[in-house]
Amino acid sequence: MAAKEPEIIRDKDQMRKWSRAMRSQGKTIGLVPTMGYLHAGHVSLIREAHNHSDVIVVSIYVNPGQFSPSEDLFTYPSDFHGDIQKLRAVPGGVDIVFNPHNLYDYGINPNYTNTSTSSSNGEGVKLESCVEEKGLGHGTWVRVERLEKGMCGKSRPVFFKGVATVVTKLFNIVEPDVALFGKKDYQQLRIIQRMVRDLDFSIRVIGYEVVRESDGLAMSSRNVRLSPEEREKALSINKSLSRARFFAEKGQISCKELTDLVIQAINEAGGRVDYAEIVDQDSLETVEDIRSPVVFCVAAWFGKVRLIDNMEIRV
């Protein structure tokens, strides 16, 4: 079967028009939001989207709003042409790549004046092209207050308000019936599900399993920035989480012992743990005993790269 060529839409009005035309033909729309530099995890989300909708939109947009000035916005990997090639090869294809150049007005925000184009793959993030109308700035943010407080929210205080806001914008522009997010970003998934419920979006949010490399490393666009040594050390996350799950499912050791086990394994491998927490799958509150379905979430640094991973545990 010939590869399907995705149509690229950059303008938000045009995007909305396309979606409305699809809906008027009775078609359901699936959205897979991404920041590009696509990998097999994204491809799994797109394949899953085909099970839930007639047409597929993949958005590629590195959202400045979810990076603080000290974070890796300007080194976030980017390869738009490579992404399009990958999307051509996805079974069933992709109908639209929404690559907005006019999503935000950061015109007067001093935090976002850098227009550097450096990236691991040469294309980089060009903020000029994200600016719609310079001058007024962006003044409205969506916050999912309780769920954004813990875990990644502690060390990345602007992250989830940026995510919730950009996902709201994407939902309002693309108007999908379903949207798919990876469970690797577990806190993000739960925040978006809560936002959709609390704000009455008529969108079904589907979480898809963590996709791993053959050696167990959770797939992430950031993996490309690990040196071979750091990548080897980073395997300690998946290995220690798997051991912890094994012990938890046998009911052998306490949550404190389980978290100690993971922290020690990552430290010994040469990583630096940001957090390691066993939390309730819905409330994301830390638990002391495993009585309901929980998820063991970890964030750790290897060199300059911060990785996250998690494992769901049912006892």
Pick between residue 168 and residue 240 the one whose CB is nearest to ligand PAF.
Answer: 168
How far is the C-alpha of 80 from the C-alpha of 77, rounded, in Å?
10
Number of residues that bind ligand PAF (CB under 6 A): 10
42 in active site: yes
- Is 151 in contact with 279 (CB distance < 8 Å)? yes
| 297 part of the interface to ligand PAF, by CB under 6 A | no
How far is the C-alpha of 124 from the C-alpha of 14, rounded, in Å?
25
Q: Which of 271, 235, 237, 241 minimizes the C-alpha distance to 258?
A: 241
How far is the C-alpha of 298 from the C-alpha of 217, rounded, in Å?
13
CB of 24 to ligand PAF, least distance (A): 27
| 163 part of the interface to ligand PAF, by CB under 6 A | yes
CB of 227 to ligand PAF, least distance (A): 23
> Residue 311: in which H helix or E strand, if any?
strand 305-313
Catalytic member of 42, 50, 101, 138: 42
How far is the C-alpha of 182 from the C-alpha of 42, rounded, in Å?
8
Tokens of 39: 């990998």
| 167 part of the interface to ligand PAF, by CB under 6 A | yes
Tokens of 60: 């590629």
Pick between residue 205 and residue 244 the one whose CB is nearest to ligand PAF.
Answer: 205
| Positions 26 through 85 that interact with ligand PAF (CB under 6 A) | 33-35, 63, 66
| Positions 177 through 216 that interact with ligand PAF (CB under 6 A) | 185, 188
CB of 267 to ligand PAF, least distance (A): 27
- Which residue bears the tokens 């959205």? 31
CB of 32 to ligand PAF, least distance (A): 9
CB of 72 to ligand PAF, least distance (A): 13
Pick between residue 98 and residue 296 the one whose CB is nearest to ligand PAF.
Answer: 98
How far is the C-alpha of 305 from the C-alpha of 132, rounded, in Å?
31
| 166 part of the interface to ligand PAF, by CB under 6 A | yes
Angle of helix 159-174 relative to helix 12-24, nearest 10 degrees? Answer: 50
Which residues belong to the active site? Answer: 42
| Residue ranges binding ligand PAF (CB under 6 A) | 33-35, 63, 66, 163, 166-167, 185, 188
